[in-house]
């Protein structure tokens, strides 16, 4: 215990005690905030692992029929993206769109082709896959036969309009993202008949010489960052550091107070 000699010492001690208590309150506040952030990351990790599990189940499931028009308003990223679906109908090759892309095969384009469904007459944009720049030039006139086809692939939600430096421009036919409404409008399609999503077509088989057949499908990149465990450990370590540093600072402060009063 430090003795109290007079009123001045008592007043000085009261101010020091108040400052010290204020310091303790701040330390506790910071500590609980850091612990809360660490715990929040634990919950985020649980949510992310569940999301990854659900997405993988959709991707590798047996294809189901593509959503009908009455289901379109309920389509959302959380519950439907990467669902494995099937379509039957014909490609509208004369209304194709090429969207710039970079893949493991290099720079080129995604080939986005409207697909007229046989059962209800509605249209779904299908990303048939990747092609190099020279393929686009070679197929400006002939793009294939409009016969009945069965298509399977992954349901994808319409992408944003593009980045700040690379915005879609329908007038110059320059596309950087798979923006379904904009592409449909630029190709003169009836918006009410066009699904609000697009399909990434499944992989195509190589030719007899084991060379890829363009367009190359099945290149959907499914990647989820899951650093939540690292983040949570970081927050908890910071909380521990705050406690440790505060302990030594507090001890030093008490010692200095006792020495100065004596």
Containing domain of residue 37, as a range?
A: 7-54+226-261
Same-domain status, 97 and 179: yes
How many domains does the chain contain in total?
A: 2
Q: Please report whether residue 116 resides in a domain.
A: yes
Same-domain status, 36 and 90: no
> Which pTM value belongs to this model?
0.73
157-199 pLDDT, tens digit per residue, is: 998 875 566 789 989 999 999 999 999 999 999 988 999 999 9
Same-domain status, 246 and 192: no
Q: Please report whether residue 69 resides in a domain.
A: no
21-67 pLDDT, tens digit per residue, is: 777 788 889 889 989 988 999 998 888 788 778 778 788 889 999 99
Quick one: average pLDDT of 117-126?
92
Quick one: average pLDDT of 80-103?
93
Tokens of 28: 């506790």
Quick one: average pLDDT of 132-138?
81
Tell me the C-alpha distance between 168 and 173, whole Å: 8
On whether the CB atoms of residues 256 and 13 are closer than 8 A, the answer is no
Same-domain status, 89 and 196: yes
On whether the CB atoms of residues 110 and 102 are closer than 8 A, the answer is no
């Amino acid at each position: 215990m430090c003795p109290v000699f007079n009123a001045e010492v008592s007043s000085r001690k009261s101010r020091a005690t108040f400052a010290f208590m204020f310091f303790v309150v701040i330390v506790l506040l910071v500590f609980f905030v850091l612990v809360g952030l660490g715990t929040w990351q634990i919950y985020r990790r649980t949510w992310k692992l569940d999301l990854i599990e659900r997405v993988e189940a959709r991707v590798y499931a047996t294809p189901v029929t593509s959503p009908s028009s009455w289901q379109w308003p309920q389509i959302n990223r959380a519950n439907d993206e990467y669902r494995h679906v099937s379509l039957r109908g014909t490609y509208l090759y004369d209304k194709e769109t090429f969207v710039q892309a970079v893949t493991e095969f290099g720079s080129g384009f995604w080939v986005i082709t409207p697909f007229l469904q046989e059962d209800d007459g509605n249209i779904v944009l299908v990303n048939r896959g990747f092609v190099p720049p020279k393929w686009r030039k070679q197929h400006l006139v002939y793009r294939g036969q409009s016969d009945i086809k069965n298509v399977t692939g992954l349901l994808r939600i319409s992408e944003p309009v593009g980045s700040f430096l690379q915005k879609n421009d329908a007038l110059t036919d320059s596309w950087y993202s798979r923006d379904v409404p904009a592409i449909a409008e630029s190709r003169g399609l009836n918006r009410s008949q066009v699904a609000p999503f697009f399909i990434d077509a499944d992989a195509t088989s190589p030719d007899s010489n084991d060379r890829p057949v363009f367009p190359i499908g099945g290149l959907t990149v499914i990647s989820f960052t899951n650093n939540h465990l690292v983040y949570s450990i970081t927050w908890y370590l910071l909380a521990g550091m705050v406690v440790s540093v505060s302990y030594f600072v507090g001890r030093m402060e008490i010692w200095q107070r006792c020495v100065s009063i004596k």
